[in-house]
A and B are shown apart, each in its own frame.
Chain A
Amino acid sequence: MSPVAVVTDSTADLGDLATSAHIAVVPLTISFGNEHFRDGIDLSREEFYKRLASSTHPPATAQPAPSALAAVYTRLLGAGASGIVSLHLSSALSGTYNSAATAAREVDADRIVVIDTHSASLGLGLIALQAAEDARLGMDVATIARRARDESPKVQLLAVIPTLTYLARGGRIGALAGLLGNVLRIVPIVTLKDGEVAEYAKVRTFTRAVDQMVDITTSRIQGRGRARVAVLHSVAPELADSVARRIEAAVAPALLISACVGPTVGTHAGPGAVGVAFIP
């Protein structure tokens, strides 16, 4: 029996990792004013952050059309996949999940399972990688889907954002608004809560916030050699490397990847941010 195919969207921020894991990636559309790009295809990460910093208005992201997803599903099934598990960004943040569900109904509702992971960026990426690994081991659609749904609530996401400017501009600042224009240069450690950016802790200085984020991460991971960890950054590869090395030394995760995040997170975090997505 031919294996199950795994599909995700470009917000999983997997980049080349998706290719090597045989995960099909459907791009979202990013618009700077009247210019439209397919995320990760027409617009590199570096180019995205360059434009983000120079444009006065935040870019808009648009979910892929159901037809684009349907085309991918049709192609994969045509190529001999026995079924498809399609994993997507939190439906609280984007309509991508809805597009995928619509496409799945059109193409083959029996063989395609669409899952709202309630996560974002490499949190979604970690779940997709797990699903791809399961598929490689020959599990069926139902098993892979069940395992992915079990994993979703375990994903934890933390990030340190050097400036609140981008959060404020994108209207996602919410509870962090009080930190704008503070006398003490307070840096928040943020997390994703019910699909919204939420403050996890307030810390003074960026360096100390990153230290604390690493401490929280390693303290939440019980046992060496089991966790799956993704370090995410917005064009701050050296910082991400140092965070990854410290996590490696402390808990030696089973999987440790690092990637530059795309527009879904990057629009609000701005350049220079670093974060961790992990399944303890």
Chain B
Amino acid sequence: MDDRWAEDLHRLWQAADEAVDVMVLADDLYDVLLRLPGVRVVVGTRWDGASRGRYLRALTAGDAAPTLELLAHGPYDGTPRRPAASAEVREHAVAELRGSAWPEAGALGAAGVSQALTCTFRLGDGEWSALTLGTGDFPERKLLEARLRQVSEIVAACGRRIAERGLAERLRAADALLAEASLQMDASLDVEETVQRVARIAVPAVAVGCLVHLYRDRELQCVAAVHVAARSQRGTAELGRSDPWLARLIARAVRSPQGLRLNAGELGGGPFSAAGDAGEVGDVGDVGAVTVDALRARGRVLGTITFLYGRPEPRMPEALFLGDLAKRAALALDNAMLYEQRRQHVLSLQRHLLPAELPHVQGLDLGASYEVGDPMLDVGGDFYDVVPRDGGAALVIGDVCGRGAEAAALTGLARHTLRTLLEDGAPPGTALSRLNAALRRERTSRFVTGAIACLDPDGGEGMLLRTASAGHPPPLLLRADGAVEQVRAGGLLLGVVDEPRYTVAEDRLRPGDTAVFFTDGLTESRARDGSFFEGLLPGRLAGLRGLGAARVAEELAHQAVDFRASGADDIALLVARVRGADEGADRGAAEGTDGSGGGGEGCG
């Protein structure tokens, strides 16, 4: 072996050790081969795992730069030349090299050579390559063959090392996909959106298409269909929705303890059975393999996740990986479903703790609103009620500290105790004292605040407001002229001492005046800068002058929700406005502006 050749090999080995792709070796490699005796052209081809040509590179003696030709779109099929485990060297007459297996023929012919010495070798990961030396004759055939083989072995070793690293990278990518899928699933608790997000990140990382079916009303329905190509999106959705073959397949997957894996040969009778034929379901592109895994969580099947793999080289991930992905997706979905169910329960229970609708009370326009802070935090303890009494009404608002079942039970107790007492004609202070006694008997550990206001005709056009409060935020009065006043009622929280005293504040309301009762969720709504909505409340309320009671209640609640950056406390509001004589005092005229109507037109 001459020194130059030894140096060349050493340099190539070093480069091969660091290369991120075998193509990095090409410049040096072709120069080295072109210096071999008699060689006039060097042609390299690279083939994928399905023996489809990727590219061709050729360098002819005397040319400054190589030519590079992409073979991916050509008809090239290298199957007849696919190498066995070890590198093979063969000699060919260029004139005999024809057909789709020999893209080198053109470059060899153009260089005017008659003989070709070709070494084919595996690169790893299914790929392979061919290095061809073109010459008029081979004066030193054995030497050329040996050296071509030596160089090819360097490229093959380089390719295998890169492929091994690629395998490790794919495993890491699979882990990362599972991690990212978990993150995406946490980003939304909406079931269908969660499913669509998971399907989206899996394409094209896992496969070219992904379908998710979930049980809805005991039937599997397609809730997500994703394809890497926009043009196949609709076909994929149709496939998921209405293809009978796929429907049978996913029904089988639901019953199967393991995921289903169907290769090209097992797609018979389905929409993908004919190669390149989109079948009956529209354009879903070429599909060469299908996998279906059941989505199982907490012992039940929620649905299935189906992957479509492209042709001609469907690379299916490990079954373990698909199973893991299905498991994680199922758990996230189950959480989202449980959340939705729980949210509905909370909202429903909350509704039962509040009056279904406010009563009609002569001379009063009543309105209320309830904003649930965060349904996930469970049932809140705010409550309100209106009890009609002779010629007027008793208004109740209260707040049981805390959330959850115990708070809900106490809320029910407080509201219904007060309602019974007020229906029996108890004055506000007495009603609060009696509730306090009931709470003391129950030995409740929770604090309760509340305010009761009785509104009775004052003998003229207005009404008398008598308010007793037990540690509750003072109600506000919005006068017809826009002035805002605080009701001066105050007393101890309920359930703390045995015999608290509740004083009663008296205020006179004129037609157009409005009394606003609320819970601390309103005043304690807090902006990002730390300020509370309480400071803005009088000004905001003044701005609602002239509006009906229902609008005032809704507006204040919405403004507080918009204002707050933190805090997810519930907000309850109860509003009573004294009607003017021209609004009509009869029940029929009051219907248009009652609490359930939400309208405020015609006021003032």
Partners in one complex: no
